[in-house]
Structure 1
Amino acid sequence: MRHSPRRNKGFTRQPLAVALGLIATSIAFSTSAQDSPRLEELIVTSQKRTESLQEVPLSVATISGEKLESAGIENLGDLTVHLPNLHFTETGFSTQVRVRGIGSDNSQGFEQSVGMYIDGIYYGRAQLFRAPLMDMQRAELLRGPQSTLFGKNSIAGALNLTTAAPTDELEGKVSISQETEFNTTEINGVISGPLTETLQARLAVRQLTDDGYSYNSYLNVDHPQREETGARLSLTWQATDNLDLYLKAEQSKFDTIGRAIEITHDVALNEGAPTYNQFLNILNQPGFEAELNNVRQTDQEEFSQNEINNLTFKADYALGDNTLTAITGWLEFNYDELCDCDFVAAEILNLDLAEDYQQFSQEFRLASPQGETFEWLAGAFYQSYEQTFSDQINISETNLLTNFYPVMAGTGLRRDFDQTSSSWAAFGRVTWNASDAWHITLGARYTEETKDASKILDLLTLETGQPLVDPLVGITYMGAFLAENQQGTIFPDSGDPILHSGYNVEGSRSESAFTPLLNVEFDINGDMMAYAAFTTGFKAGGFDPRSNNVGSFDYRAVDYVRGTDDFPPPAETESNPLLHYEFEEETATAMEIGMKNTLWDGRAELNFSLYRTLYDDLQISQFDGGVGFNVGNAKETIVQGLEVDGRILLLDELTVQYGMSYLDFEYKDFKNGNCYAGQEKDGVDLDGNGTIDTCDYTGKRGVYTPKLTLNLSLDYYRPLTNQLNWVSILDWQYVDGQQVHVNLDPMGEIEGYNMLGLRLGIDAANWSVAVLGKNLLNETIVSYTGNAPLSDSQFNTNTHYSFVRRPRTIALEAAYRF
């Protein structure tokens, strides 16, 4: 349903009315005072300085390391339960994180719209979002474009994660957690303290094993089985009175067998025709259950093996009254996967995937002291990386498709993608403290980035691994998988133009951006602050590994495969030879107003932000109906809404933390979307041949854009004796209904759901025991839905596979501290 023209002109009326009500509430409560304890101050580094959260004129949410541990937050998926407007999901081919509905889709070529920074180092690949969280000091979520200080494509927001630092005194902790239903065991160990008077060290280790929560009834085994190990050594050295050094070395491995994927929807596109499951039964193949019940049927023992290695070096030097900071980062990441990507028990689509990624980054910052009339920060940033990605579809002699396409037996389709990138940026900001009440900040970042990439799709003989030379096999793959390839070259008649000329492409991009920022802050009094901000964002364009079509070829290979000899005259040239290989940069223009209020004599906080962001050329990747994804740009998208959060110290023993997000998302101009199965095309003609190729999503919401998200946390600590304390922590989140289908199929709409977690325990001086429950309401939550590959193009059905989140778990925890 399209919104009315009046609504699209600015902020929607409902959030604006709520914001005005919050202002009135803040003023009313600011007059109330009691002689009582205050809330503990929350410290953040969202502006590259150590500040109180209540003094930062941005929409920022934070969770302490203690809260991360007590809530059993193991990864970003767990973190989303505690932060409104943050979404995390795994897909069949990728990992996605979104803030305010904006993120990066299925493509290993995308930079991430939500930048993740760990101890100041940018983690830019999608798979890195799956890395476990271990021994953390703090997690911060900055919402909206963060183009000045964080930069590097953080056009939707930034996750600023800080690991725990070495301590001046010797301390340590060992903890173990055991969940019985799915046999999940987690062991953590930390030891920290001084090695000399000026040198401190911290060692953290972690291991987790899990038997899985989804039952594969065909293989009679539980999936996904997990094994995670991690180790981190960090050192701090006060080398001189003016120089502090920090060094961190870390390795993380996370492996899985199987996936939490099941077929959840299966209907024929033509009335009376067989469904996908019925087709398989007709062909004497094992079928499947199209039900949402944590039961799946696949014939392969899928696996995913991931390893991350990181070295981080940081130096802080007191240069007079200023501070010079240098951060050097080296990051290496690789994974190998086997995906049973037909998601059924029949042998159809087995896919091997692998990626290797190496990154180097260097940042320098010079910051003035705080509290002066003018506070400033200036810096420079450099990053380079090398990436190789490959996948290969293997069609053995026993593959179901060989019944229809015998020439495919014993062959494979291999994709090889190589990319290098280098970028540099200069950035700065200055705050003019015009008076005790008025503070005006100007900032800007200038970025230049170059990328070079190449991709080839080749057909191989599985026995030798060598390329084929048979064009008939290439044409067959084009018809069956909608995948252009080097062997699929067609000469309709001697002397006629080439109808198709393979798939071996390369490209180079060089682009720059200037992204300014203006922030005006007004301190109403010592406990109330209002701000207004204007900023812009930039995310580089690039090259897509996942697309199986190169450009806008006059494509008629399907007719050839089906035996039609009467070809229409082929096009002599391509209107856009890199249409599905290269995508353009996206930009954002954002406005935000907000207030941060400390109320009730320090016992309560009430913060809110009202925002509106316009995205031009938003990068989108959608399923092509075969086995690939096509990337493109949505011309114009508007995201706007209201965020509210805060804390209340109701009793000395009881702290309440709350949050609310109202999100309004609309594609204002998106006519070139990929259609879902059975959708009537009403978009644009991409290749100029007079046929509509796309679907028009203008006026629709995007994926993962719930209108309303609510969060509530109750932390209760009560002394039982002089040595024992009772601890109970209740966490609740409500997420409104939303679309989770990558191509916006109406059947991909899920209903709203509640996530409830509870921790009950006893703490002593050096030990603790607790029971931790997650998803206590046992909600069945679909986090991603897509079409089963080939179900539409080969079987003419609308068949969905879905990722399903973990059901209820209850674990027993024990810890010993010294």
Structure 2
Amino acid sequence: MQKLITVVKYSLSFALVAGPSLLMAQSVESSSSTASAASEVDRGDSSLGAARLEEVVVTAQRRGEDLQSVPISISAVTASMADAMGIEGIQDVAIAAPAVNFGTTASGSNIRIRGVGASGSATDESANAIYIDGVYQSAAPALALPLNNIERIEVLKGPQGTLFGRNSTGGVIQVITRDPPEDPTLNLSVGYGNYETLETQAYMGSGITDELSVDLAIYSSDQNEGWGENLATGEDVYDGSSFSGRSKLLWMPGSRTKVTLAASYIDMDPLGSQGGNIFPGQRTVSAGGVAGSTYPGFFNIDHNSSDRKTVEQNQYSAKIEHDLDWAQLVSITSYSNTDFDFDWDNDGGRAFIAALEVFNSVEAITQELQLLSSDSSSIQWAAGLFYLNGVNSLDPLLVRGLSQGSPTASTELVSESDTDSYAVYGQATAPVFTDTNLTIGLRYTEDDRSLDSTVTTPTGLVLQVDDSENDTKLTWRLSLDHQLTVDHMVYASFDRGFKSGFYNTTDPFQSPIEPQVIDAYELGFKSELFDNRLRLNAAAFYYDYQDMQVRTGTPTGGVEILNAASSTITGVDIELVANPVQNLTLQGALSYLDADYDKFLNAPFFEPNPGGGQVQTFGDASGNDIVQVSDWAASLAGNYEIPINYGSIRLSSAVYYNSGYALDVQNRIEQGDYTLFNMSMAWVSPSDALEIRAWGRNLLDTHYRSTANSSALADIYFPGAPRTYGVTVSLRLL
């Protein structure tokens, strides 16, 4: 905590280089009259002349609304905010929204919002739905995507079981990208950083006719030096590359109709999910005369095979919006195909015990129809239909290991899980008293799932598994909000959300995983103070969380996913944005969670074996902390612009603190508290056409573990990024 306090002091001191520290707030507090202080600001007092906060428009209820009028806890991040904070991808969103925790696993990503998440397996969907321009992202391996050409990010906290029903148990992350511009636009940037990292971005767009415009956004990053080394092979680890391209075509055939076609391509060698290392003091399994490996260093590994992963995705979508006068009709159609291939040394050491070779494909088709009331309607309502066809296949998954002394024997698994999901939903908000609104929403979902698997053992034995399941769920939203004044609103809500069940395609003999359900109760407060120079929002909540889907290891080093009985989560979120003095913006957020397993009997526990590997037992995890959920998380960011004779200097920093979290259900291994500090300084030309920016991320070089996987073979963790720094030059040519 002392380190956090020190960093906060540094952060504020650099952000306030040319201005008095929070002078406006101090003046208001010391004044005998808030109104008097406000009037001084309105008269343009030079010491208090801060700009008012801009209105933030969000689409949390499927229509554009002022953030402060929506009775949902929302963190909104604009493109400039993301750039200033060092947010490069979805995995960095926690810097702006501490209620979010993004964990990297060997095969996917586990996103938790207020402690609610899923298994993080590539065979699974996220419990917190991600949408890009309204298109649902179902493939877990592709969720750690780079961000380029964004307009804003919206983090909706709490179950969104009505308007965003697909697996929105803990919340929704919406990424909204820019629409193609009418005027010719060309922006370029090139950056170079440590670990021999070259990053380039380009955005170009223009109107073609009065009705038609198009754009293209390209992002490329190559990190040629790894964070660490594989001591067994001498190769770098935690290096890689990323390329993404996205194009949108906007057609306005008339004043009532808008058609947006989008295509995107992603090709990544993810850095964070490579390798995987054992904990200090542990030893991996010995076999075939080869001794088990010991801890090689935080970013090093000691694997007898290379660990490489690739993710390739193609996605296409069409969005049609048509004004019917009395309502707006919206159709969103999408198709995506994601291929995820990886090789991984499952035992984490040099002995040849278990190595995985996986070829995973996720294919999804979605269709959504929305009917939204007109803005002039006294009752604001939305209704819709949603369909998803998803195919998750392993073709094949190979497990190489020792069988009768042979290091080449393998088990081959070919497995396919198909999902057809149908949903119908509706939500309406109506005034019930003066300045008081009641919102009621319902959604009915039906999921049809099937599994078809073939397992071929090293002895040639062929095993078949065919199964099917059907689940139906009714979810809802009930909220009441009251506008105390123009700038102060309170609300109370009761929501039910659920995450669909699924088949563990890596273990077809496991019983189907049942849906997880959450009932959420929330009280919230939204306000703008000091003549709209301070925005302060807060929420307190209670979650009743049933049939949690939990990922654990197996005696053979595989992945098992359980429904871990029940748990309770209570907590508080606080967020503020302030313009205390001219050219200075401060943002702060705090998240507190009390998250325990209420009942988790016969949970898989693992104890390190002094001779190597681990021994599996079963115990009672009731009362233990939920994996990857911290009690406290907080962030503070400052952005300050200093006008100079030729252009301006822009200073930005962000500090993030996490109190630590358990890494296994036993709470035997854990990540302690840690602090991340990002900072940048840029010179911007008078015309804003040229920017030269020096930046640093994790400048304290904090070592922290993103996630870990416990099995009978080893405890294997995946590290967060070390200190990185560099220079970026940006040109706005048109």
Query: Is TM-score (shorter-chain normalized) higher than 0.5?
Result: yes
Letter in 1 for 2:732: R
| CA shift for structure 1 position 806 | 1.2
Taking the TM superposition and a 5 Å limit, the aligned residue runs for 1:295-334 are 295-334=300-339
CA contact (8 A) 2:85 2:637 kept: no
Partner of 1:473: none
Query: Alignment partner of 1:370: what SS?
Result: coil
CA contact (8 A) 2:220 2:242 kept: yes
| CA shift for structure 1 position 546 | 3.1
Cα distance between partner residues in 2 of 1:150 and 1:30: 41
Partner of 1:515: 475
The one-character-per-residue Cα deviations of 1:734-791 (angstroms, maximum 9, x if unpaired) are: 00021123x4341x1221000000010111220100111000111001112223x553
Q: Cα RMSD between the aligned structures?
A: 2.2
Task: From 647, 652, 658, give the equivalent of 1:729.
Answer: 652
CA contact (8 A) 2:583 2:642 kept: yes
Q: Cα distance 1:733–1:541, how it changes in 2: closer, same or farther (>3 A)?
A: same
Cα distance between partner residues in 1 of 2:544 and 2:347: 37
Query: Alignment partner of 1:626: what SS?
Result: coil
TM-score (norm 2): 0.89
| CA shift for structure 1 position 800 | 2.4
Taking the TM superposition and a 5 Å limit, the aligned residue runs for 1:641-656 are 641-656=571-586
Query: Alignment partner of 2:121: what SS?
Result: coil
Which runs of 4 or more aligned residues in structure 1 lie more than 4 Å from their structure 2 counterparts after TM superposition? 28-32
| CA shift for structure 1 position 359 | 1.0
Query: Alignment partner of 1:285: what SS?
Result: coil
Letter in 1 for 2:139: R
Letter in 1 for 2:83: E
Query: Alignment partner of 1:675: what SS?
Result: strand
Task: From 118, 122, 125, give the equivalent of 1:111.
Answer: 125
CA contact (8 A) 2:103 2:707 kept: yes
Letter in 2 for 1:814: V
Q: Does residue 620 of the first structure (1) align with residue 550 of the second (2)?
A: yes
Query: Alignment partner of 1:300: what SS?
Result: coil
Task: From 653, 661, 666, give the equivalent of 1:744.
Answer: 666
| CA shift for structure 1 position 394 | 5.0
Query: Alignment partner of 1:259: what SS?
Result: coil
Taking the TM superposition and a 5 Å limit, the aligned residue runs for 1:221-240 are 221-240=235-254
| CA shift for structure 1 position 665 | 0.4
Partner of 2:216: 203
Q: Cα distance 1:323–1:393, how it changes in 2: closer, same or farther (>3 A)?
A: closer
Partner of 2:6: none
Q: Cα distance 1:72–1:120, how it changes in 2: closer, same or farther (>3 A)?
A: same
| CA shift for structure 1 position 409 | 4.8
Partner of 2:25: none
Cα distance between partner residues in 2 of 1:227 and 1:350: 24
Cα distance between partner residues in 2 of 1:105 and 1:394: 21
Cα distance between partner residues in 2 of 1:720 and 1:597: 35
Gaps of 5+ in 2: 1-28, 43-48, 610-615
Q: Does residue 813 of the first structure (1) align with residue 728 of the second (2)?
A: yes
Q: Cα distance 1:96–1:391, how it changes in 2: closer, same or farther (>3 A)?
A: farther
CA contact (8 A) 2:359 2:397 kept: no
Letter in 2 for 1:807: P
Taking the TM superposition and a 5 Å limit, the aligned residue runs for 1:602-641 are 602-641=532-571
Query: Alignment partner of 1:49: what SS?
Result: coil
Partner of 2:168: 154
Task: From 115, 125, 128, give the equivalent of 2:142.
Answer: 128
| CA shift for structure 1 position 284 | 5.0
Query: Alignment partner of 1:293: what SS?
Result: coil
CA contact (8 A) 1:605 1:646 kept: yes
Query: Alignment partner of 1:296: what SS?
Result: coil
Partner of 1:251: 265
Partner of 1:760: 681
TM-score (norm 1): 0.80
CA contact (8 A) 1:248 1:312 kept: yes
Cα distance between partner residues in 1 of 2:563 and 2:196: 44
Partner of 2:386: 381
| CA shift for structure 1 position 355 | 1.1
Partner of 1:418: 416
CA contact (8 A) 2:632 2:658 kept: yes
Q: Does residue 444 of the first structure (1) align with residue 442 of the second (2)?
A: yes
State which drifts further: 382-391 or 665-674: 382-391
| CA shift for structure 1 position 372 | 3.4
Letter in 1 for 2:634: L
Taking the TM superposition and a 5 Å limit, the aligned residue runs for 1:573-588 are 580-588=510-518
Q: Cα distance 1:693–1:761, how it changes in 2: closer, same or farther (>3 A)?
A: closer
Q: Cα distance 1:169–1:647, how it changes in 2: closer, same or farther (>3 A)?
A: same
Q: Cα distance 1:669–1:745, how it changes in 2: closer, same or farther (>3 A)?
A: closer
Letter in 2 for 1:767: L
Task: From 716, 719, 722, give the equivalent of 1:804.
Answer: 719
Taking the TM superposition and a 5 Å limit, the aligned residue runs for 1:697-716 are 697-716=621-640
Q: Cα distance 1:71–1:372, how it changes in 2: closer, same or farther (>3 A)?
A: same
Letter in 2 for 1:610: A
Letter in 2 for 1:445: R
Partner of 1:570: none
| CA shift for structure 1 position 514 | 1.2
CA contact (8 A) 1:736 1:752 kept: yes
Letter in 2 for 1:339: W
Query: Alignment partner of 2:414: what SS?
Result: strand
The number of equivalent residue pairs is: 683
Cα distance between partner residues in 2 of 1:124 and 1:606: 34
Task: From 499, 502, 505, give the equivalent of 1:542.
Answer: 502
- Percent identity between the two aligned chains: 24
| CA shift for structure 1 position 70 | 3.6
The structure with the larger Rg is 1
Gaps of 5+ in 1: 1-24, 268-274, 461-466, 470-485, 487-502, 551-579, 680-691, 792-798
CA contact (8 A) 1:705 1:738 kept: yes
CA contact (8 A) 2:109 2:121 kept: no
